């Protein structure tokens, strides 16, 4: 039974439209693709018929001929992470403006699954690949991390790294100057008299390694030792972080530099649980300038690494490249420290 006044919604194909408008399928194809060599009259006629019957070209058939489906693959370790989510949301929105669809893959941090993600996405005949997060830079969770799979993908389609850095042909990196920002932040801590800075992270990635470099460089500049015991890695769930910190009761530190806001909030919770005053007894710095940083009490001093900026630069690159223009292989971006209440500098 059909609804009252509704037209029967049967999918039409190019032949139907051609017949209905009294032209050949080639002509229909031309107007669909906006070819200039169609007379105004025919064009309008065809357009009218397409409109009337609500015709949509079949993407598969079109893809078969063209070998492209106006689709861009996005891979990130985990969209439920606030930083990733913001980046993906932003990418998706901008890319859609340009008429591209996004296929999303969450790969986690394991090498094997990252390779699989790239593999599967490549089979989808995507036009470009965007990798969000510096985990895709050979610093995965397991030793054997290699970026070969990315370089291989780049042989076929352009690969864009957001906050990652791989050099290779057809690979384009936009990343934060994390080393620099971390150096500044930790220096601030040391300048304010802190001696033992806990380095808190939740993964090992290029970005984390940069942050650690900055951390170590600052320590060295202040003639302080780099202590392995002061480097901790754990999942970035607030209560979990607090509890782990509480359990490590013999570990001494007067400040925390976290590679992610949620970790820093965990440290804040730890301070509360121990009755430590912030920033007097414990000074804390987060990373990402996420909503978490204004959620806790006191609010976090954090590093703003504006994923929007990285995303925008990347999208510019994508569009340029797809239009055949030249694009820079590497774009480093400066991050700013947002001073709030968990530090006294």
Partner DNA sequence: CTGAAAGCGCTAACAC
Partner DNA sequence: GTGTTAGCGCTTTCAG
d(Cα 236, Cα 302) in Å, to the nearest integer?
15
d(Cα 137, Cα 166) in Å, to the nearest integer?
6
* Residue of 310, 305, 299 lying closest to 336 (CA atoms): 305
Given the complex with DNA, which of 24 and 167 has the nearer CB atom?
24
N-to-C CA span, the chain: 73
Contact 171, 151 (CB under 8 A): yes
Joined together, the tokens standing for residue 246 give: 């509480």
Q: Which stretch binds a copy of itself (CB under 8 A): 89-97, 176-184, 213-221, 323-331?
A: 89-97
- Nearest 5°: the CA angle 95, 319, 146 is 85
Using rule CB under 7 A, residue 19 touches DNA: no
Given the complex with a copy of itself, which of 36 and 99 has the nearer CB atom?
99
23 binds, among DNA, a copy of itself, none (CB under 5 to 8 A by kind): DNA
Given the complex with DNA, which of 41 and 223 has the nearer CB atom?
41
Contact 276, 260 (CB under 8 A): no
Using rule CB under 8 A, residue 103 touches a copy of itself: yes
Using rule CB under 8 A, residue 244 touches a copy of itself: no
Q: Least distance in Å: CB of 119 to a copy of itself?
A: 9
- Let me know how long the chain is: 345
**Single residue of 4, 34, 40, 123 touching a copy of itself by CB under 8 A:** 123
Peptide bond into 126 cis (omega under 30): no
Given the complex with DNA, which of 57 and 298 has the nearer CB atom?
57
Q: Least distance in Å: CB of 190 to a copy of itself?
A: 28
Given the complex with DNA, which of 4 and 65 has the nearer CB atom?
65
**Single residue of 47, 104, 234, 329 touching a copy of itself by CB under 8 A:** 104
**Single residue of 62, 113, 217, 248 touching DNA by CB under 7 A:** 62
34-43 per-residue burial string, b: 16 or more CB within 10 A, e: under 16: eeeebeeebb
Contact 92, 148 (CB under 8 A): no
Contact pattern for DNA over residues 30 through 59, marking x by CB under 7 A: x-xx---xxx-xxx-------------xx-
Alpha carbon 230 to chain centroid, angstroms: 28
**Single residue of 7, 9, 15, 336 touching DNA by CB under 7 A:** 15
Alpha carbon 20 to chain centroid, angstroms: 47
Contact partners, residue 233, CB within 8 Å, separation at least 6 = 200, 201, 202, 203, 204
Q: Least distance in Å: CB of 200 to a copy of itself?
A: 16
Binding site for DNA (CB under 7 A): 11, 13-15, 22-27, 29-30, 32-33, 37-39, 41-43, 57-58, 60-62, 64-66
Binding site for a copy of itself (CB under 8 A): 9, 56, 58-61, 63-64, 67, 69, 71, 78-82, 85-86, 88-90, 92-93, 96, 101-106, 120, 122-125, 152, 155-156, 237-239, 262, 265, 269, 272, 291-292, 294-297
């Amino acid at each position: 039974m059909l609804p009252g006044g509704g037209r029967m919604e049967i999918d039409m194909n190019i032949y139907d439209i051609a017949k209905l408008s009294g032209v050949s399928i080639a002509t229909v194809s031309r107007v669909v693709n906006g070819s200039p060599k169609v007379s105004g009259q025919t064009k309008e006629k065809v357009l009218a018929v397409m409109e009337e019957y609500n015709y949509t070209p079949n993407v598969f058939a079109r893809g078969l001929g063209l070998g492209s489906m106006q689709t861009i693959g996005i891979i990130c370790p985990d969209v439920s992470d606030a930083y990733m989510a913001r980046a993906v949301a932003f990418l998706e929105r901008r890319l859609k403006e340009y008429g591209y669809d996004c296929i999303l893959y969450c790969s986690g941090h394991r090498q094997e699954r990252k390779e699989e993600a790239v593999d599967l996405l490549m089979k989808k005949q995507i036009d470009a690949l965007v990798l969000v997060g510096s985990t895709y830079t050979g610093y995965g969770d397991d030793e054997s991390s290699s970026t070969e799979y990315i370089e291989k993908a780049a042989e076929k389609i352009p690969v864009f790294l957001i906050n990652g850095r791989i050099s290779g042909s057809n690979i384009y990196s936009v990343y934060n100057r994390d080393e620099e920002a971390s150096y500044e932040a930790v220096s601030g801590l040391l300048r304010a008299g802190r001696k033992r800075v806990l380095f808190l992270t939740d993964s090992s990635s290029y970005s984390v390694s940069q942050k650690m470099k900055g951390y170590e460089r600052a320590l060295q500049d202040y003639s302080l030792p780099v202590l392995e015991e002061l480097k901790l890695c754990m999942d970035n769930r607030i209560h979990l972080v607090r509890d782990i910190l509480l359990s490590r009761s013999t570990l001494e530190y007067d400040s925390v530099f976290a590679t992610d806001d949620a970790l820093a909030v965990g440290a804040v919770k730890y301070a509360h649980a121990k009755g430590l005053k912030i920033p007097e007894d414990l000074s804390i710095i987060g990373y990402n300038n996420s909503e978490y940083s204004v959620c806790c009490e006191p609010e976090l001093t954090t590093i703003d690494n504006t994923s929007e900026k990285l995303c925008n630069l990347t999208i510019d690159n994508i569009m340029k490249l797809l239009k055949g223009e030249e694009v820079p292989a590497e774009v480093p971006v400066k991050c700013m420290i947002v001073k709030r209440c968990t530090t006294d500098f």
